[in-house]
Amino acid sequence: MINAFIEIFSYSFLTKAFFVGIFVALCSSLLGIILVLKNYAMIGDGLSHVGFGSLSLATFLHISPLLFSIPVMVVASFFLLKMNRKNLHGDSSIALISMSSLAIGILFSSFQKGMNINLSSYLFGSILAVSTEDLILSILLAIIILIFFFKYYFTIFSITFDPDFAKATGVKVERYYMIFSLFTALIIALGMRIMGTLLISSLIVFPALTTMQYFKSFRGVVIGSFLVSAFSFTFGMVFTCLWDIPVGASIVLFNLLFFLLFKILSWKGRVS
């Protein structure tokens, strides 16, 4: 297994995929804590479907998929957030947008001869699809998100825990929500190449849900999610190389394994 891990770094495409993936996974785990605690976790799922629709359209129009899908997803993320906060049927509005985007994606992919390889890799994920452009973008984004998260740690906690209190004490809560949705859109746009649009939201949801079962402090959940995300991604990549299995599915299954492990730990904790 260690050999397989070392082997990743002997191929440039695997090295690129590893670093893009790990940065995306780490940032998703931090954003996931906020989204899960605010009940906005489905926004990630909605955005990934929007991503599929926009990628399909971009392929049909022969324009750069990433350059086209990023602005579309950013606009969609603001829209989803607004609908989720204002509309009483928040989840239903996400489902509406998800399904419409999926339909657009399927429609435009059907206009092309056969199932396009690019679209297939976007749906199910591929380590071959990662470019140097993705790597630079993911490094930049990871630096920005990590600095933002640790610089405004207390404020982010306050907004997540009690937004009314934060707002009353002068925090621009709406501005922070916009930043969170912007980051989520960018992270999903970058990550869906590796994970696939169908599984990318798992990077957001799994680590937070896993660690919240066991840790009772916000700090514990932040550190725990960070580690769970890093290990799940690394193990997922290694097993992909070892057994030639789809990378997205492999990472999600390791996340599931950690989830079950923490479930057992929390049961044991309660019993003792």
Partner 1 sequence: MKLLSLEHIHICYEKKVVVEDVSFGIEEGDFLCILGENGSGKSSLLKGILGLIPMAGKMQCFFKKEEIGYLPQFQVHTKFPATVFEVISSGFSTSFLKKDTIKKKVLENMQRFHMEDLRNCSFQELSGGQREKVLLARTLTEQKKILFLDEPTTGLDPVSTKELYQMIHKLNQEQKMTIVMVTHDIDRALEYANKILYLKKKMLFFGTTDQYLSCDICENWVGCGHD
Q: Which residues bind partner 1 (CB under 8 A)?
A: 37, 154-155, 157-159, 161-162, 164-171, 212, 215-221
Specify the residue, 117 or 147, whose C-beta has the smaller distance to partner 1.
147
- Nearest approach, Cβ of 190 to partner 1 (angstroms)? 28
131 DSSP 8-state letter:
-
Overall size of the chain counted in residues: 272
- Nearest approach, Cβ of 212 to partner 1 (angstroms)? 6
Tokens of 68: 């086209």
- Nearest approach, Cβ of 207 to partner 1 (angstroms)? 13
- Nearest approach, Cβ of 271 to partner 1 (angstroms)? 17
Specify the residue, 13 or 267, whose C-beta has the smaller distance to partner 1.
267
What are the distances in angstroms from CA 48 to CA 69, 136, 193, 228, 258? Answer: 10, 21, 11, 22, 23
Specify the residue, 62 or 86, whose C-beta has the smaller distance to partner 1.
86
Neighbours of 217 (CB within 10 A): 9
Specify the residue, 126 or 211, whose C-beta has the smaller distance to partner 1.
211
- Nearest approach, Cβ of 116 to partner 1 (angstroms)? 42
Report CA torsion sign: 175, 179, 185, 186.
positive
268 DSSP 8-state letter:
H
What is the crossing angle of helices 153-161 and 132-151, to 10°? 80
Specify the residue, 165 or 267, whose C-beta has the smaller distance to partner 1.
165
